[in-house]
Homo-oligomer: A and B are copies of this chain.
Amino acid sequence: MDNAYIITIGDELLNGNTLDSNSTWLSKKLSFFGIKVIEKISIPDDINIIENCINNVLEKNCEFLFITGGLGPTHDDITKAAIKNVTNSKLEFDQDYYTELKLKFKDKGIKFLENNKSQAMVLSNCVKIENPIGSALGINFDMKGSKVFVFPGVPKEMQVMFEKKILPKYFNDNNKIVNNVTLLTAGLHESYIYNEIEKLILNFSNYVKVAFLPKYTGVNIRLSLLNNNINTEKMFDLENKIRTKLGNKIYGSDNETLEEKLGELLIENNLNIAIAESCTGGLLSKLITDVPGSSRYYYGSTIAYKNDIKIKHLNVAEESINKFGAVSSEVVEEMAIGVREKFKSDIGFSISGISGPEGGSKEKPVGLVCMALSTNEKTISKRFNFLPDRKMHRQISSNVAMNMIRIYILKNYD
């Protein structure tokens, strides 16, 4: 099995300004080809530290080293200078790329400034990696048995360069292997799942490693082969046994999302949906429309932050709000019916809660949330208490909402 190291470069990664999403993205892509990332290291924009770190990793005899960051046009981008030293290269002016660079700026309607000229300087002992969407070139070289690839830190540029320029050349789709599978669950606690499948895990422990990853959406269960390329059938055998044990608590696997799976279910059952949101303020609708093609089943939403809008535009009775409060089973049921009738959809779904930090009371603390689902057959509602942290409350509420719709369809239509 081939090994890889990843070095991400940038002060912003070490002072908390930027989340390192590049190494995560690269790791995932590499795992599809059975390449295991052994270690990820983040270091600052310091030429000595960069040089030392690269030299140290090159001593470890890894197959691949991926480096991102510090190739931009401004003075703090010094990765190229460090690579120049590591590879003992000279800087050479690339006239062709300079011409291309000026055209790129023209096409985008951005003024070409002289500080961009540095991007046309290339390293004599390296090969350039073209950048189809940005101006900074990547760098490729081989050293001490390692293939080294250096990309700009802008995630989209790094991704496009890896997929268009590196994947086709170094990683063959035929080599794609399945050495792991992640099962996605919703609505269960980690220790409960572990208890349910502990025996299965033990039975397969010579072949498959099982890890539990708690997320907003629920707990992910990751199965991976202990020995690459062999015993694949053992892994799928365990996967099937876990699926049988946990039933519809598993909503998908690997890169699938709850919103995608919900979308598929709606399409399969020829159903469409409209949403009425209060506390989530658009997040539930945003998640549903994250899915390309969601216009096939999603009609629209009314976000009624103000009670007045609930009354005038969702047909909620003013009396219900006064008597039961805006966060109550009664009001969410009226909201779900209201939005379904108004937008003429098969399903109306509503959500109203107290995400905080203000707005809680003794009977209705921050964290409370009510949800309802309405069809022309019936209307049901549920009440939950989630963590009283505004951001998490909205995330968890939206995910539980999607799972509630999913389970309803599975039980009533599928």
Min CB gap A156→B, angstroms: 7
Decide: A305 and B309 in contact? CB cutoff 8 A: no
Is A375 in the interface zone, CB < 8 Å from B? Answer: no
Decide: A342 and B313 in contact? CB cutoff 8 A: yes
Kindly state the separation between the CA atoms of A220 and B12 in the bound complex, as whole angstroms. Answer: 10
Decide: B212 and A72 in contact? CB cutoff 8 A: yes
Decide: A281 and B285 in contact? CB cutoff 8 A: yes
Min CB gap A375→B, angstroms: 18
Q: Which of A31-39, A140-148, A225-233, A317-325 contacts B (4 or more CB under 8 A)?
A: A31-39
Residues on B with beta carbons closer than 8 Å to the beta carbon of A24? 13, 16, 18-20
Can you list 16 contacts pairing A with B, beta carbon distance less than 8 Å? A12-B213, A15-B27, A15-B180, A18-B213, A23-B42, A38-B44, A41-B42, A74-B211, A76-B209, A111-B192, A113-B194, A282-B289, A295-B306, A299-B306, A300-B313, A301-B303
Decide: A295 and B301 in contact? CB cutoff 8 A: no
Min CB gap A349→B, angstroms: 13
Residues on B with beta carbons closer than 8 Å to the beta carbon of A283? 282, 286
Decide: B282 and A212 in contact? CB cutoff 8 A: no
Contact among B18, B27, B210 for A16, CB-based, below 8 A: B27
Known: A110-B192, A116-B191. A74 touches B16 (CB 8 A): no
Main secondary structure of the interface of A (DSSP, over half): mixed
Quick one: closest B residue to A211, CB to CB? B76
Known: A281-B285, A387-B156. A16 touches B11 (CB 8 A): no
Chain A residues proximal to chain B, CB less than 8 Å: 11-21, 23-31, 36-45, 72-76, 110-111, 113, 115-116, 133, 154, 156, 180, 182, 189-192, 194-195, 198, 201, 209-214, 220, 222, 224, 275, 277, 280-286, 288-290, 292-295, 298-306, 308-309, 313, 342-343, 356-358, 387, 389-392, 394
Decide: B292 and A74 in contact? CB cutoff 8 A: no
Decide: B292 and A286 in contact? CB cutoff 8 A: no
Contact among B16, B277, B288, B299 for A309, CB-based, below 8 A: B299
Quick one: closest B residue to A194, CB to CB? B74
Residues on B with beta carbons closer than 8 Å to the beta carbon of A391? 290
Decide: B198 and A115 in contact? CB cutoff 8 A: yes
Decide: A74 and B110 in contact? CB cutoff 8 A: no
Kindly state the separation between the CA atoms of A285 and B133 in the bound complex, as whole angstroms. Answer: 30
Residues on B with beta carbons closer than 8 Å to the beta carbon of A16? 24-31
**Within the oligomer, what is the number of copies of this chain?**
2
Decide: A14 and B41 in contact? CB cutoff 8 A: no
Kindly state the separation between the CA atoms of A17 and B24 in the bound complex, as whole angstroms. Answer: 7
Instruction: List 4 A-B pairs, minimum CB-CB distance, nearest first.
Output: A16-B28, A281-B289, A282-B285, A282-B282
Kindly state the separation between the CA atoms of A303 and B301 in the bound complex, as whole angstroms. Answer: 5
Residues on B with beta carbons closer than 8 Å to the beta carbon of A17? 28, 182, 213, 220, 222
Decide: A292 and B20 in contact? CB cutoff 8 A: no
Residues on B with beta carbons closer than 8 Å to the beta carbon of A29? 16
Kindly state the separation between the CA atoms of A285 and B275 in the bound complex, as whole angstroms. Answer: 14
Kindly state the separation between the CA atoms of A387 and B156 in the bound complex, as whole angstroms. Answer: 10
Known: A38-B14, A39-B42, A194-B74. A301 touches B301 (CB 8 A): yes
Contact among B195, B303, B343 for A115, CB-based, below 8 A: B195
Decide: B19 and A21 in contact? CB cutoff 8 A: yes
Residues on B with beta carbons closer than 8 Å to the beta carbon of A38? 14, 44
Decide: A302 and B302 in contact? CB cutoff 8 A: yes
Kindly state the separation between the CA atoms of A203 and B95 in the bound complex, as whole angstroms. Answer: 32
Quick one: closest B residue to A196, CB to CB? B113
Quick one: closest B residue to A277, CB to CB? B282
Min CB gap A146→B, angstroms: 18
Kindly state the separation between the CA atoms of A285 and B74 in the bound complex, as whole angstroms. Answer: 35
Residues on B with beta carbons closer than 8 Å to the beta carbon of A27? 13-16
Supply 18 further A-B pairs (C-beta < 8 A) apart from A14-B36, A17-B213. A13-B27, A13-B40, A15-B224, A16-B27, A16-B31, A23-B42, A41-B41, A73-B190, A76-B211, A110-B192, A116-B191, A156-B392, A282-B282, A285-B286, A285-B303, A289-B303, A300-B302, A300-B304
